[in-house]
């Protein structure tokens, strides 16, 4: 059987348990699994991630610093096959006259994609093989290393520290508010980084499972890409193509869960009615509408849902859904070029916001606020926003996660700091147990 199953062939029903497949995948140098957490997350417009597992690399694309020309050359290469991987935030530099000169703690490449040897999918209680020979997978996985045995902890993490103090954070928020008052921008997503410099993830997937149990999300994912690991509990979809339809679902607006059902409903209502949160969300909706119009058919941009409130285990989020019809010739890279980076992680106007992000943030974002996802042989795709995500460079034994919030003129520095800590809580709690 060939590595790439013909798209017209019915998927092969496998007599393997999903958990056994996940266990067997860990010894391969490249693997990526998406976790929709169907029973733990709210019903999402256009669904969640598919439950996919990609293992092994027939072909890889690894570009340290990508250019527009390199992306253009990849169009035909990405067609007609499964591809999985990560696009870094700093790919923005290939699309606009921008740069990324801040400290690069993790030294991650701009682009890391792989064409897998095997693709499996869980549908309910059944498992299907979509690409490759499953018997060959088991034969090869038996020769690979699996998870460490015994009682070895999944991680040993050194001191976790923030690159920005609360005092410096609040001072920077005031400076950004001054930029807004001067008419430079309307809104900017300002992020900070938490680091550990002596981190040893003995079993990264076990650590991901703990994170996923504490903070289940519809666009969660675990990836091993050579020496690089991604442990993502992302609530946000960047973009999805299904047939001729392209949709984007930016999140702007966050509130913690209440302690009682009555308090929880009050919090939910306050988030929905908050003028500040609605204004932030509306700015990004307008930005996304403009981005989608650059790649879609004229006059087909539609706001399908505005200010939707979705409840997760630890917080409520305000989510809007915007869609557009695509011309037949539009490729994944065409859609990426028109819309990346996502407006929810930049600000408005987008280019000036990205310039000020580089000025006011102290760290290079790297894969944070980039995207993780997959492309199908038919040309459909689904990509998340890499937030609420732990990144690990095994070669350097360095670990990092970043959090941020949208700064508008009405922003309270103290409240924005509290929102950052709320978003960081699940990741910090999971790692703190192994400091």
Would you name the residues annotated as active-site residues?
236, 252
What SS3 state is found at 333? helix
How many of the other CB atoms lie within 10 Å of CB of 262?
Answer: 9
**CB-based contacts of 129-136 (< 8 A; 24+ apart in sequence):** 129/5, 129/11, 129/12, 129/14, 130/5, 130/11, 130/12, 130/52, 130/82, 131/3, 131/4, 131/5, 131/82, 132/1, 132/3, 132/4, 132/5, 132/56, 133/1, 134/12, 134/14, 134/16, 136/1
What SS3 state is found at 430? helix
Bridge partners, 85 (sequence order): 113, 373
CB–CB of 120/17 below 8 Å? no
Cis peptide before 204 (omega within 30 of 0): no
SS3 per-residue string spanning 390-410: EEEECCCCEEEEEEEEEECCC
Backbone angles phi, psi at 171, to 5 degrees: -65, -40
């Amino acid at each position: 059987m060939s590595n790439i199953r013909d798209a017209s062939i019915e998927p092969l029903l496998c007599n393997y348990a999903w958990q056994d497949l996940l266990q067997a995948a860990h010894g391969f140098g490249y693997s990526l699994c998406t976790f929709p957490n169907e029973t733990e997350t709210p019903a999402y417009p256009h669904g969640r991630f598919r439950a996919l597992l990609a293992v092994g690399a027939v072909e890889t694309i690894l570009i340290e610093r990508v250019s527009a020309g390199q992306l253009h050359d990849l169009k035909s290469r990405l067609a007609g096959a499964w591809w999985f991987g990560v696009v870094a935030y700093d790919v923005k530099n290939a699309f606009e006259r921008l740069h990324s000169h801040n400290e690069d703690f993790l030294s991650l490449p701009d682009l890391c994609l792989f064409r897998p040897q095997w693709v499996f999918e869980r549908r309910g209680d059944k498992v299907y093989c979509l690409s490759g020979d499953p018997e060959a997978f088991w034969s090869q996985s038996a020769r690979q290393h699996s998870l460490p045995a015994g009682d070895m902890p999944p991680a040993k993490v050194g001191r976790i520290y923030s690159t920005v103090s609360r005092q410096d954070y609040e001072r920077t928020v005031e400076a950004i508010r001054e930029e807004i008052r001067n008419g430079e921008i309307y809104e900017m997503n300002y992020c900070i980084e938490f680091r550990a410099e002596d981190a040893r993830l003995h079993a990264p997937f076990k650590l991901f499972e703990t994170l996923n149990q504490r903070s289940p999300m519809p666009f969660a994912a675990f990836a091993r890409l050579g020496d690089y690991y991604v442990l993502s509990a992302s609530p946000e979809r960047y973009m999805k193509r299904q047939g001729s339809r392209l949709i984007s679902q930016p999140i702007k607006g966050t509130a913690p869960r209440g302690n009682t059902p009555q308090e929880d409903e009050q919090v939910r209502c306050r988030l929905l009615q908050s003028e500040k949160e609605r204004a932030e969300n509306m700015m990004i909706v307008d930005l996304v509408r403009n981005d989608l119009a650059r790649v879609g058919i004229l006059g087909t941009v539609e706001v399908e849902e505005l200010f939707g409130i979705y409840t997760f285990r630890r917080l409520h989020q305000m989510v809007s859904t915007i869609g557009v019809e695509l011309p037949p010739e539009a490729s994944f890279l065409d859609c990426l070029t028109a819309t990346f980076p996502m407006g929810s992680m930049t600000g408005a106007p987008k280019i000036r916001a990205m310039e000020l992000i580089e000025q006011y943030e102290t760290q290079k974002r790297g894969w944070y606020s980039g995207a993780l996802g997959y492309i199908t042989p038919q040309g459909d795709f689904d990509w998340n926003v890499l937030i609420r995500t732990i990144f690990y460079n095994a070669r350097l034994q360095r670990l990092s996660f970043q959090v941020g919030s949208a700064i508008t003129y009405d922003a309270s520095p103290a409240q924005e700091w509290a929102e950052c800590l709320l978003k960081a809580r699940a990741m910090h709690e999971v790692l703190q147990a192994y400091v």
